[in-house]
Structure 1
Amino acid sequence: MGVPAMSNASTTESRLESPGFGLAVVRATIVPTVRFVGFWTAVVLPFVYLPLLFTGLDGATMDAFLVLLVVHVLSLLLGREYGR
């Protein structure tokens, strides 16, 4: 008789428990990246929407300004712990 085949469940579990996979590894790589992007977006974004203020806020310009303002607030929240 041959060697019994391993079930798919056990091989999947062993792959997920290996050092290359796991929530800790994903978190360690994604969280710093999100903080970096959030911080630098918050730094650069005022230079983008500041000219909108000087040209006047009417119609589409007002909509663009409000969207950029919301994105700025979100980037401030995401990047607030960058560099800690």
Structure 2
Amino acid sequence: MSNASPTGGESLRKSLGFGLATVRATIVPTVRFVGFWTAVVLPFVYLPLLFTGLDGATTYAFVALLVAHVVSLLLGREYGR
């Protein structure tokens, strides 16, 4: 006969009183919120780049902002549902 002792992670989770479901319930809405509002604000950031012209480093900054905008659109698409 052997008694199964809880693993370190399992005992830690029991002592803290939360698990993956609690973390997911907290993190997912936060990521969606940040993604949505970032997608709303980013066009106001990269529009001045278009008005001043794209040359050299400005082009790379514009492309990076566009990529960040697409990522934020994907992350925030379920916000408010």
TM-score of the superposed pair, with normalisation by structure 1: 0.82
Aligned residues: 78
SS of the counterpart of 1:67?
A: helix
Are residue 80 (structure 1) and residue 69 (structure 2) matched?
no
Corresponding residue to 1:47 among 37, 41, 44: 44
Corresponding residue to 1:68 among 59, 65, 70: 65
Larger Rg: 1
Q: Which runs of 5+ in 2 are unaligned?
A: none
Cα shift readout 1:50-82 (whole Å, capped 9, x = no counterpart): 000000011011000000000000000000000
Shift >3 Å, 4+ stretches: none
Give percent identity, aligned residues only: 81
Q: Which runs of 5+ in 1 are unaligned?
A: 1-6
Give the match for residue 56 of structure 1. 53
Give the match for residue 25 of structure 2. 28
TM-score of the superposed pair, with normalisation by structure 2: 0.85
SS of the counterpart of 2:77?
A: coil
Cα shift readout 1:35-62 (whole Å, capped 9, x = no counterpart): 0000000000000000000000110110
